[in-house]
A and B are shown apart, each in its own frame.
Chain A
Amino acid sequence: MKFKLSSGLFIFLTPVLLWLFLLIVIPQIELLLMSLRGENNLGEPIWTFANYLHFFTEEIYWYTFVRTATYAIIVTVLTFIVTFPVAFYITKVVSKRLSVFLTILLLVPFWVSELVRVYGWMILLRESGVLNHIMLSLGLIDKPVEMLYNDISMIMGLVYTSMLFMVVPLISSLEGMDDSLIEAAHDLGASKWTIFTRIVIPYAAPGITSGSIVVFMLALGNYLTPNLMGGKNSLWFTEQIYNQFIASFNWNQGAAFGFLLLLLSSLIIWVGLKMSKQQLGRVLS
């Protein structure tokens, strides 16, 4: 389809384009330039790749990134495992009216900020928290246990904050699926498991992929939850970036890390798409 950019449309688009340009493109270019700057031995500013090389030579940065990416993948998989039955139940099992109600119920917690929700978990889990209090008074334990500040609680928190972004695309793709497809497969001799793997999952694949991309990116780029629930040793890559900017005032290094995060996560998503034989265009449509 071809259409001419009429002057009316142009006027209409100008604020949007301007906004995109000023707030997104220019800062990115600025950061890119910054990440390529450095100082030579004499302390003079020069163009250099040193900031990028640093990432590959210093083991800790490299290790932190791999750890973050691995955990982000685990979070994505777990989020899918947790939300898929929910989405299936809402769209295929219950009646239409109940399904609308349940969807709203699912979204309500996400109306409050992530910070508040994470604090909610902390109130539940911390040493002097609700859970410990209950277990103590039931006599299940005799001294409080620290359930926060470890990898498991951090992953749980990340899964919780990501759920919305998985469940919405899942619901919308499953909603489009005709129930008679499931019945037809059953009629043609398929067991429940085969129906799930051969009909439901392939049908929902675009929703699963787009949900997974969003959850993966958000988990990877999350700062709040790993910091609050994972504690000091959470070793999340965003903390490294934060440290470079805020703690060491090394903006050039921080900018380079930021770009590395963008590039490497894009690479991981590309590999993921190739492996699952999905096309980005189809997923987004």
Chain B
Amino acid sequence: MPVVLDIVDLTKRFADFVAVDNVCFQAEEGKFFSILGPSGCGKTTLLRMIAGFLEPTSGSLQIRGKDMLGIPPNRRPVNLVFQNLALFPMMNVADNIGFGLKRQRCPKKEIASKTEAMLERVHLSGYGSKDISQLSGGQKQRVAIARALVLEPSILLLDEPLGALDLKLREQMKIELKNLQREVGTTFIYITHDQSEALVMSDTVAVMNAGRFEQIDTPRNLYSRPASSFVAGFVGETNIFAASVEDISPTLRLRAENGVLFKATAMQEMAGAKKGRLFIRPEAIILEPDSGLDNLNRFEVTVRTILFDGSNTKILAMLGDREITVALPQNQQFAHITPGETVSAGVHIDACKCYPGE
């Protein structure tokens, strides 16, 4: 796959505050690339540099092999879907979508046909003559995306476009957006602080923290092999323990804050580290494990609450003085468990991931 966007050592400094710090990445043609990070980590700043609204302090930025530094936003082959959509309130839907085409001096007929085709693509056929104020949140969302996509940009940049929608609509738009991207084949660079959005939609996710990229990987790898303690804690639900290192070889053994001893897998070099952080996914904890299983950390937990949510049911249980989350298997095997009960539990060494640090 050819590379569309090539970013090397991009840095943005505001006075003495570094908002984007030496970021390097490449996005391939036709891929859904997400940048995931907590609020204020520099996502919007990075995106605005790609769009051309901000000049980087240093580093290089190429689109399809062409250097983009110094080129104004209206002459870059990228379009941005704004965090607050920024639809033009004084124009109707069709004029909003046709705005960019008009700037390219496209003939009227072509504008009309392209606009209509785009409206159909985002399931808004017949909405062309409506005013922006007459649309629902989800419809506005689609108009904003259509307005940018109709220009057939090399890259479509999206800045938390689903942020303003309610949960239900967000779930629906997630799938719609993914399908749309596959249909049009445009490279999407999608910014979000919602890890489920990033995991569901993306081909590749970059996890960003405090201006730096911590890991660039597929959603599956991100979830199963987080490269850093931050990624392990940020992506997906997880139980986190502060622990002190008891032993490093032959196996890594840690004493968690609640006094429980764990055998664990080191995800980064642990030599010399006294403290570590231990991550255990809720679904990695097995209830009533078979006594024949090897390499298991075994302990007893006391059930406190059952959070019933269909196939996604979890229990909150006490392990020592710490509350942990355990995901139940979907086969109703543990439907009999009631709060207050004490159950044996176990977790495989491979699923106990340890990183050095406080």
Contacts and interface: CB of A to CB of B under 8 A. Distances in A.
A189 B51 CA distance: 12
Nearest to B76: A187
A183 B86 CA distance: 9
Given A188-B99, A188-B100, A190-B74, 19 more contacts: A178-B86, A181-B86, A181-B88, A183-B53, A184-B80, A184-B86, A184-B88, A186-B73, A187-B51, A187-B148, A188-B74, A188-B148, A189-B103, A189-B151, A194-B103, A198-B99, A199-B88, A202-B91, A205-B90
Contacts of B100: 188-189
Interface of B: 51-53, 72-75, 79-80, 82-84, 86-91, 99-100, 103-104, 147-148, 151
B79 A188 contact: yes
A203 interface: yes
A221 to B, nearest CB: 32
B104 A189 contact: yes
Nearest to A205: B90
Contacts of B88: 181, 184-185, 199
A31 to B, nearest CB: 41
Q: How large is the interface on A (under 10, 10 to 19, 20 to 34, 35 or more residues)?
A: 10 to 19
Given A191-B74, A203-B90, A184 B82 contact: yes
Contacts of B90: 202-203, 205
A90 B90 CA distance: 23
Contacts of A199: 88
Contacts of B86: 178, 180-181, 183-184
Contacts of A191: 74, 103
Contact of A190 (B52, B80, B84, B103): B103
B82 A185 contact: no
A188 B151 contact: yes
9 closest A-B pairs by beta carbon, nearest first, are A188-B100, A184-B86, A189-B103, A180-B86, A202-B90, A189-B74, A187-B73, A187-B80, A186-B73
A188 B103 contact: yes
A187 B84 CA distance: 15
Given A190-B103, A194-B103, A202-B90, A183 B84 contact: no
Contacts of A178: 84, 86
A181 B85 CA distance: 9
A186 B86 CA distance: 12
Contacts of B148: 187-188
Nearest to A176: B89
A204 to B, nearest CB: 10
Contacts of B104: 189
